Structure formats: structure tokens, C-alpha cells
Amino acid sequence: MATHADDQDDSGLFQEAVKGARPIQVNRAQPQIKKPRPIPRQLIRDERQALRDSLSDDYIPAHELESGEELLYLREGQSPMVLSKLRRGHWVVQAQIDLHGLISDEARQYVTDFIADCKKRGIRCVRIVHGKGLGSKNREPVLKHKLRSWLMQKDEVIAYAQAKPSDGGSGAVLVLLKT
């Protein structure tokens, strides 16, 4: 068994062995917990408001193709064949919304959100049902005329044309979007 004298010898030997040693500096770093990036809520609200404000109810370009009450539009620089194909139903309608019962501001926001969603999803052809205005004041199609203006202002819109009678006729419009 070890005695007290042996412990002192061992201690002395240890002290002799580490006599010139210096303690090392150990920086124990705290684990870095990444904080989630802040959500720019105000920026998101501002962008939504800018989208709403970017669509004027009174925008009518000089190169509009409207003939009578039929809605027709072809973005400048596009082939007239695009509009012709759209009117004949060349593209399959991949999504649609119905604006019945919405007031103008609600409809504008709905159309803006719908087109943005379609763009994200790569949807090319959509139908927007705006109604014939039979239930509105003076029995006039208020949303039809506003929709025409809103769509012309959207950069994503290549062309639009009144739907065929089987697809809603003068109460709906087919819209061709950029992909």
C-alpha cells in the first residue's frame, strides 16, 4: 500500500515535471444559435399596397383592340396570331376565378393575387369570370370595364379575349400569361 511519503514523492516528481509549464488558454465558445431572420412585415404590407395601387381603374392605352363590348387585348410586339389562337381556345384554361359579389377594391386585389399565384405556378391560360353586370346598379358590367384596365397594366398579361359563349361569353375573359 502507498504511504504518505510515497504520495509526497509523487507530488514532488509531478511538481518537478511541470515546473516550466504555462497553463493554456481555453476559450470555450458558446454554441452559436442562429436567430431566425426577421420577417419584414411592413415591407410585405408596402409591396401589397403598391400592387393594389399600381392598377388604376382609368388606364386605357392607345393600342387597345376593343371592338364594341367585346374584350380584346394584345400586348404590343405580339403576333396577332396569339390573339386569334386565344379566341379559338387553342390554350387550355388551367385556372379560373369568379369575381361575382366582390366590390371593385376586393376584385382588384383578388385579380392581382391570382395572377401572381399563376405566375409562380407557371400557369399559362386562365379564365376570369367578371359577370355581365345584371345584378349591379344600372345593370352595367362595372367589373368588366375595370378588369380590362387592370389586365392591360399587368406585365404578365400577353393577351386577353372575351370567352366563348360556352365558357361564360361576355361575362368572362380568357387571359394568356407569360410563363
Let me know the angle formed at the C-alpha of 86 by 85 and 90, rounded to the nearest 5 degrees. 60
In a domain, 20, yes or no: no
- Residue bearing the bigger pLDDT, 91 or 63: 91
In a domain, 109, yes or no: yes
Among 55-64, 65-74, 87-96, 141-150, the minimum mean pLDDT is found in 55-64
In a domain, 8, yes or no: no
In a domain, 99, yes or no: yes
pLDDT at site 62? 42
Mean pLDDT along residues 141-164: 89
- Residue bearing the bigger pLDDT, 148 or 94: 94
pLDDT at site 25? 77
- Does residue 110 register a pLDDT over 90? yes
Look up the pTM and report it.
0.62
CB 177 within 8 A of CB 125: yes
Domain of residue 128 covers 41-177
In a domain, 128, yes or no: yes
Question: Residue 57's domain is classified under what CATH number?
Answer: 3.30.1370.110
Number of structural domains the chain divides into = 1
Among 6-10, 143-147, 164-168, 171-175, the minimum mean pLDDT is found in 6-10
Residue that is written with C-alpha cell 384554361 in the block:
93
- Residue bearing the bigger pLDDT, 139 or 154: 154
In a domain, 32, yes or no: no
Q: Report how far apart the first and last C-alpha atoms of the chain are (Å, whole number).
A: 88
Write the single-letter amino acid at 79. S
pLDDT at site 33? 73
- Residue bearing the bigger pLDDT, 115 or 145: 115
How is the chain classified by DSSP, letter by letter? ---HHHHHHHHHHHHHHTTT--PPP---PPP-PPPPPPP-HHHHHHHHHHHHHHS-TT---TT---BTTB-EEE-TTS-HHHHHHHHHT-SPP-EEEE-TT--HHHHHHHHHHHHHHHHHHT--EEEEE---STTSGGG--HHHHHHHHHHHH-TTEEEEEEPPGGGTGGGEEEEEE--
